[in-house]
Structure 1
C-alpha cells in the first residue's frame, strides 16, 4: 500500500482544477492539466515538485473527490535523490524510531510532577462518554491540562510514546507512517468511549480523516476537535466567559483546516468570537489559506523554501492591518516564532487563549517551549549535517 492507493485515479479527468486553484502556484488551466498528467504518469514536473508547499488544500478542490495531495506526496517520496538519502535529523523527529527522539528529549526535561502526569495519562481511563486525546506538543503542558477547570470533565489519554503520525506522513515516510498507525490504533482500540476530543487539530485530522480514509483503519469512536467541544459547551451554557480576549488578530488557518472542511472553519470563527476579541480575515483564508510553509521542507529538506513561504504569510498578516495572528496549530506557532520576532508580529496560540478566556490559569504557555526546543536541537546538532539511507528510516520503525 502507498499514498496513492487511497483513490481510484481512473476517475481523474485531468481537468487541472486542483492546481489552478492552488493559492501558491496559481497555474493557468492548460499548465495545470499538463502538470496533473505528469504527476499521474510519474514523470518529472515543471513546477509542482519544486514549488508545492504540501498544504493539502488541493484535496478540497477536486470535483471528483480525489486526493491530489497524496498523489503529489507519492511523487515527492519517489524522487531519486530522496530514495537514496535523507537527513539523519528526520528519524529524530519521528516518534517510534530507535535512538534519540525530539519529543522524548522534551518530555525528559519536564519537571517531575509533569512527568508523573504523563505516566498517568499513559493508561486507558475508565469507560466514559468522552476522552481527551493529547498529542505530542500538548504533553508539554501536562500540569495545565491536568488541572484545567474547563477540561475537568474529560478523562485524559496520551501515552507519551505515541503520536498521530503527522510527521511520518507528511515527510513522505509511508512505511514509517503505517508502522506508527498500527501502534496508535492498537492503543486507541483500548478506549471505551463514544467520542475522542483532540486537543491538537493535527491529531483530529489524522484520527478522523487520514487514518480511516488513506490508511484504511476505522476507529471505534467519533473524533472531534477541542474547538467543537468548547463551542458545544459554550452554546449549552456549560461554559461562561471569565477573561474575555482583548486583542485584535488575523485568523491564521493551518493546513488541516481545509482537510477538516468548511464546518471546521466556521467552528473556529464561532468559538473565537464567543471568547471575545476582534478577529479579521486574511486575503487567503479557509480552503485557500496560505500555510506556514513548514510542510514544504519535505520536498528537499531545505529550510530556504519554508522561510520564503513564511515571509509571504507575515506580509499578508500586516496587509490585513494587524500585528497579531491567531494560530490553531502548534507546528505553525513553533516554526513561525523565530521569524515573528523579526517581523514584529505577535503569535497567539488559540488553544491556550480559549482555555484562559473560559477560566483556566495558563502557567506553561507554548512560548515557554522555545528554549527547550532550541536546547533539544542544539544537543542533536550533528544529526543536521549527516545523511542516512532512506530505507533504514522505514526499517527502523
Structure 2
C-alpha cells in the first residue's frame, strides 16, 4: 500500500470503521459514522483534525479501500495554506535554521560532532549508508564494528521530509524531492542502506509522488542486520535472555507483515522473547512526536509529552524487561518521555541489542541526548508558546536560502 494514494470519496460508505478502530481517536460507533460522513463530504470537524496523528492506520482497517488517511492530510494541507502555523511549530520545522535537531547537533560531544562532519561528503560513490536526521542527532549509534565498513553520507540539510509528509505540507515535499534528487545524482550511488523505516518509506513511496527521480536500491538496516545474523556473518556470542516489547515504526505497516515480522525474527535470533503491546503492528501507537503533527497541536510540547507517556505506560503494562525500537527517532522521543514518566523500562535500538548479543557493549548515550533535546525545547520553543505570530514553512525555507 502506498501512503500517497488519494482519498477515494466514492468508495467511502461512512461506516466509521476507520475512526472507531483508530488507536488514537477511538470514537464510538455512532460518532465514528457521523465524523466519517462529514469527512467524506469534505467538511471534517476540527475535533478529529486536531487529534489525528497521521499514523494512517485508518487506511489498513477501511473495508472499502477508500484511503481515509489521505483525506486528513489533504485537510491539514488546506489549513496550513489558509492559516499558517503557530510560531511554536517553527522549532520543529526541518528547514528552519535553528530547530530542534540543529540544537542537538550543535551540542554533541566532540567525537560525535566529528562523525557528523565527516558524513557531509559529496565525493561520488557506488553505495552509501544514509543516516537520516534521527541518526545524525544520535551518531553514537553508528560507533559499532557492525557498521565499520559502511560509507555513511548525509547531513541535516538532506532531511527526507517525513515531518512534512505527516503534516500535509506538500509544497515542502516537492522542494525536498528536488533537493534529494539533485544530491543523489551528484553522488551517483546505486545502493542505499537506511536505518530509518520512515526514510525508506519516503524514498520508496512518497518522494517519487512529489517529483523525485531516484535511481538506486534501498535496503533497510533491519533487513540487512537480520540477513547477516541468520547467515552467521554476525556471530552471536552472548544470546539475550530477556523479554522485550516492540515500539513499531509508524511507517513499517506500509511494507507489509513480512517486514513487521523481521523485527520479531531478529529478536528471536538474539534470544529475546517478544511480548506484544495492546497496540502493535498496523495499529501501533506513535512514539509521541505525531501528537504534535496536527495544525492545532503544532508541536505543542504538552501534546507530544502526553503521546510519549501513553506509549511508555502501555509498554510497562506488558511486563517486558525492555522496550525495543528500530527507529532512532522513537528512541529519542521515548527517552525524552521517560524524563516525565520514568517507568524503569530500558529502551534499546535493535542495533544495540545486536551489539549486546555479539558481545559488543553499546555506547548508550540516549539519556544525555534526551536532556539535550529537552533543553532545546525549554530554551527555544517555550518562549514561543504564548506568541500569536503565525508563519508558513515555505517562507522560512526561502529566508534560509537568502
What range describes the TM-score normalised by the shorter chain of this pair?
A: 0.7 to 0.9
What is the alpha-carbon distance in structure 2 between the residues aligned to residue 378 and residue 137 of structure 1?
20
- Following superposition, the deviation at residue 86 of structure 1 comes to 2.3
**2:130 matches 1:133:** yes
Q: Tell me the TM-score normalized by structure 1.
A: 0.85
CA contact (8 A) 2:132 2:154 kept: yes
1:255-294 map, 5 Å = 255-294=250-289
Question: Would the alpha carbon gap of residues 85 and 159 (structure 1) be closer, same or farther in structure 2, given more than 3 Å must change?
Answer: closer
Query: 2:19 matched to which residue of 1?
Result: 19
Cα distance, 1:371–1:21 mapped onto 2, change above 3 Å:
closer
Counterpart in the other structure of 1:55: 55
- TM superposition outliers: structure 1 runs of 4+ over 6 Å: none
Give the distance between the partners of 2:140 and 2:239, measured in 1 at CA: 23
**Shift of residue 309, structure 1, vs aligned partner:** 4.0
CA distance in 2 between partners of 1:329 and 1:144 (Å): 11
Coordinate RMSD, CA, aligned: 3.0
* 1:292-331 → structure 2 map (5 Å cutoff): 292-299=287-294, 300-301=296-297, 302-322=300-320, 324-331=322-329
Contact 2:245–2:275 (8 Å) recurs in 1: yes
User: Any gaps of 5 or more consecutive residues in structure 2?
Assistant: 398-402
Tell me the TM-score normalised to structure 2 length: 0.84
Please give the alpha-carbon distance, in whole angstroms, between the structure 2 residues aligned to 1:95 and 1:50.
21
SS of the aligned residue for 1:292 comes to coil
Cα distance in 2, alignment partners of residues 104 and 304 from structure 1:
21
Structure 1: gaps (5+ residues): none
Residues 179-203 of structure 1, C-alpha deviations (whole Å, 9 max, x = no match) = 2232222212334344311122221
Distance in 2 (CA, whole Å) between partners of 1:93 and 1:51 is: 18
- Give, in angstroms, the shift of residue 373 of structure 1: 1.5
- TM superposition shift of 1:72: 0.7
1:201 alignment partner in structure 2: 197
3-state DSSP of counterpart to 1:208: helix
Relative to structure 1, the CA distance from residue 359 to residue 5 in structure 2 (aligned partners, 3 Å threshold; closer, same or farther) is: closer
Q: Which residue of 2 aligns with 1:188?
A: 184
Cα distance per residue 1:308-327 (max 9 Å; x no partner): 44444334323322353222
**How far did residue 139 of structure 1 move?**
1.8
Q: CA deviation at 1:43?
A: 0.9
Q: 1:40 to 1:224 in 2, by over 3 A?
A: farther
Please, which moves more after superposition, 231-240 or 163-172?
163-172
Counterpart in the other structure of 2:331? 333
Compute the displacement of 1:377 (Å): 2.5
**Structure 1 stretch displaced more, 109-118 or 260-269:** 109-118
Find the aligned partners of 2:21 and 2:232 in 1 and give their Cα distance. Answer: 40
CA distance in 1, matches of 2:60, 2:319: 29
